[in-house]
Amino acid sequence: MGERRKLIAGNWKMNGLHADGVALAAGIAEKLKAAGVVSFDLLICPPATLIWPVSAVVKGCGVAVGGQDCHPKTSGAHTGDISPSMLVDAGCSYVIVGHSERRQDHKEPDALIAAKAAAAHAAGLTAIICVGETLAQREAGQAGAVVASQLSGSIPAGSTAANTVVAYEPVWAIGTGRNATPADVAEIHAAIRADLIKRIPGGSCVRILYGGSVKQSNAGDLMAVPDVDGALVGGASLKVDDFWGIAASCC
């Protein structure tokens, strides 16, 4: 992967019943079909209950499907969890790990996130490893140090540009309508790039996504920032036109 093709990823979080999810996926697939050749990759990450039907709807039309989390083990007595190979079986090629909502709601530490990413790699999935500081950390001038420490703890050995994507998502910008300025994003993405070059063979080719209140109106400016290789989109990924509008801003 010489040139970094932009990746526009929709994280549906805990939203959508069967009918809505299938309609949303079908709408996105229709947009892509109508557009023909595009310069970006599209990914949707539905809740676990919808992975199978959504995969069936988008099959063969160039929209990838991902899980929102996985367990570090392949199988076993882990009630409620989903293994990376189950995600593959259901049609996924990606999985998000270490999203800030899981770091917060489930107290997931960096070492667990690294184990999940390693398990994802072993199953053939590309892991989207999320990092990002809280508002208190940013206000204390610790954003760079927090992200560096999360990268160091969450990226497993064996990561490559083909099996790893990093998403920078400042926690204070997620779902708040408050997004980081292009200057804030440029500073952190440049630091992440420098870190990846040291840490991963081919680190200059790893895609780094920005996430946090990305919408059609700000996507163009954010996607133009150096080292921003796409977006991880929450709220605005739940409507076909909003999500497609963000993707189209990459052209």
The active-site residue out of 101, 108, 133, 169 is 169
Chosen residue from 174, 191, 222, 228 binding ligand PGA by CB under 6 A: 174
Judge whether 239 and 16 are in contact, CB under 8 Å.
no
The span from the CA of 167 to the CA of 42, in Å, is 15
Helix (H) or strand (E) holding 209: strand 207-211
Q: Does 43 bind ligand PGA (CB under 6 A)?
A: no
Known catalytic membership, residue 106: no
The distance from CA 174 to its chain's CA centroid, rounded to whole angstroms, is 13
Please say which residue, 46 or 212, places its beta carbon nearer to ligand PGA: 212
Per CB under 6 A, which of residues 2..41 are in contact with ligand PGA? 11
Per CB under 6 A, which of residues 205..224 are in contact with ligand PGA? 211-214
- Name the residue with the smallest CB distance to ligand PGA: 234
Please say which residue, 119 or 171, places its beta carbon nearer to ligand PGA: 171
Please say which residue, 154 or 213, places its beta carbon nearer to ligand PGA: 213
In order, the DSSP letters of 86-149 are HHHHTT-SEEEES-HHHHHHT---HHHHHHHHHHHHHTTPEEEEEE---HHHHHTT-HHHHHHH
| Residue ranges that bind ligand PGA, judged by CB under 6 A | 11, 169, 174-175, 211-214, 232-236
